[in-house]
Amino acid sequence: MDSSSSLLRMEHIPGKGRGLVAAQSLKAGQIVLTESPLILYSASPLFAPSSSPFTYCDHCFGIVSSYPNIFPCPSCSNHSFCSQKCLSLALNSSHSTWVCKALISLLQHPNSTLLQQHPPERQVQARFIVASHNLFLQAPSEFHTLLSLHGTPDSDILDVANFLHSLISPLFPPQSQFSVDLTAQLLAKDRLNSFCLMDPYSPDGPQRSIKAYAIYPKATFFNHDCLPNACRFDYVDTSDEHNTEIVIRLIEDVPDGKEICISYFRMGRDYCTRKKILMEDYGFTCECDRCMIEANWKENEGEKNNDLPHMLFLCKHVCERKNCAGTMAPLPPKDDVPSNVLECNFCGNLKKNDWDVA
């Protein structure tokens, strides 16, 4: 049984829809959820080469080193894998015969120049629709879970759905019931529920690109808070089957019944930037404690208006390593003893917690 079920329960949270609350008293550093994606797809546009300096396995998204450690798809030259195991798993799941043929057809489609004229994002959405249809064919109950998530199409999504459906629907098997409306529904779910899987951290490297997108069936119910009590660790690049799992760990103690929230982006951003992202990308206005205080700050006076408890939280929990700004959470407790070491969820940096004086 899923161990998170005794730690978390879903509740209706006023003003936020569904959310996850602590089902018992929980400790800082505790891992409250580990799960595999419902759907996972590459963030590389179909036509343009990826901007990432790394090459990834198209199944587990671990870094592929060089030949002879590359296992290409036997039917297309566009997808490669880091091991025989990933290749075999992919051919029976994420890179099934239908997916392989659909992606080749999209690349060779007489209208493919149309797709290339759209922003690269459209090509990534095409990958998502192909992956969703594959889920529909392979795991109908998981497909229905995907459809039950939060998100309804707006007019922009309907336009995109019309365009993508015209390109992709000829590739669906004849009995497929994938309508434009269903395509639009799926795109709306993807917009609100997908997590980014990022390039590995490098102190001097370029800004990290997104290597893949994933939707997790339970983690998606964590609502946002600008001063979260939990954060996501993705132990990527372990080159095994756990590479794409999400791990949610508590930043501080959480009493029974309290909502557990993550931040949908790195915490260091100022009020106006956070407000803009949350409205444009997620369609809501955040009313967390931090936003309520910062909303009253005078324009351009953020630095002078620092609110002490919030500043202490940010000093303690924002990683100060160069090119990082990830979130620092305590290591998991050992034998119920809390750890005095904080770990960054982004770069893995460890630092002693000197903030909590007994």
Ligand X SMILES: C[S@@+](CC[C@H](N)C(=O)[O-])C[C@H]1O[C@@H](n2cnc3c(N)ncnc32)[C@H](O)[C@@H]1O
Point out which span in 10-18, 70-78, 137-145, 348-356 binds ligand X (CB under 6 A): 10-18
Point out which span in 12-20, 32-40, 299-307, 314-322 binds ligand X (CB under 6 A): 12-20
One residue of 2, 3, 5, 17 binding ligand X per CB under 6 A: 17
User: CA–CA separation, 67 vs 80, rounded Å?
Assistant: 11
Helix, strand, coil percent content, the chain, rounded in steps of 5: 35, 20, 50
Q: 223, 19 in Cβ contact below 8 A?
A: yes
Site map 77..116 versus ligand X, x via CB under 6 A:
----------------------------------------
Report DSSP state, residue 5: G
Q: Least distance in Å: CB of 140 to ligand X?
A: 21
Site map 210..249 versus ligand X, x via CB under 6 A:
----------xx-xxx------------------------
CB closer to ligand X, 59 vs 224: 224
One residue of 54, 98, 265, 284 binding ligand X per CB under 6 A: 284
User: CA–CA separation, 257 vs 243, rounded Å?
Assistant: 31
Q: Least distance in Å: CB of 282 to ligand X?
A: 4
Residue 193 is a binding residue for ligand X (CB under 6 A):
yes
Report DSSP state, residue 60: T
One residue of 85, 150, 242, 275 binding ligand X per CB under 6 A: 150
CB closer to ligand X, 70 vs 288: 288
Q: Strand pairing of 230-233 and 246-250?
A: antiparallel
Point out which span in 11-19, 38-46, 247-255, 314-322 binds ligand X (CB under 6 A): 11-19
Site for ligand X, residues 244 to 283, rule: CB under 6 A: 282-283
If phi > 0 it is left, if psi is from -120 to 50 it is alpha, else beta; for residue 239 that is left
One residue of 107, 139, 158, 192 binding ligand X per CB under 6 A: 192
User: CA–CA separation, 299 vs 313, rounded Å?
Assistant: 22
- Reading the block at residue 221, the tokens are 């119910």
Q: CA 194 from chain center: how many Å?
A: 5
**Residue 63: beta bridge partners?**
56
Closest alpha carbon to 214 in 255, 245, 178: 245
- DSSP 3-state of 190: helix
One residue of 2, 6, 18, 350 binding ligand X per CB under 6 A: 18
Residue 286 is a binding residue for ligand X (CB under 6 A):
yes
**At which residue do the structure tokens 């329960």 appear?**
9
- DSSP 3-state of 224: strand
Contacting residues toward ligand X, per CB under 6 A: 15-19, 150, 192-193, 220-221, 223-225, 282-284, 286, 288
